[in-house]
């Protein structure tokens, strides 16, 4: 699964990091970043993290996370 983030849409609600802390992080303003590479806008998600990332995706109120099945 490929996870893409759209920081311009992020409202810093914090839900993605609550549900998938291994994948999501935040900048100083609370805007979403990918935990493993803060400069990246997308990341392949390992099978063991997919459930958490899907939950974060579903809970994001502004759709700042996109999921593509690969």
Alpha carbons within 13 angstroms on the beta-carbon side of residue 26 total 15
Q: Which domain holds residue 54?
A: 2-68
Overall average pLDDT of the 30-58 stretch: 96
Task: Please compute the mean of the pLDDT values over residues 20-30 and round it to a whole number.
Answer: 96
Nearest in space to 2 (alpha carbons), one of 42, 39, 41, 38: 42
Whats the size of the chain, residue-wise?
Answer: 70
Q: Cα angle vertex 16, ends 26, 11, to 5°?
A: 65
The CATH number covering residue 21 comes to 3.30.70.20
Identify the band that residue 10 occupies on the pLDDT scale cut at 50, 70 and 90. Answer: very high
Total domain count for the chain?
1
What H or E segment, with its residue span, contains residue 55? helix 50-59
Work out the percent of the chain whose per-residue pLDDT is above 70: 99
């Amino acid at each position: 699964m490929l996870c893409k983030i759209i920081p311009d849409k992020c409202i810093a609600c914090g839900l993605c990091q609550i549900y998938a802390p291994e994948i999501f992080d935040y900048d100083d303003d609370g805007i979403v970043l990918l935990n493993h590479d803060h400069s990246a806008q997308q990341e392949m998600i390992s099978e063991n993290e997919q459930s958490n990332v899907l939950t974060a995706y579903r809970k994001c109120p502004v759709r700042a996370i996109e999921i593509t099945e690969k």
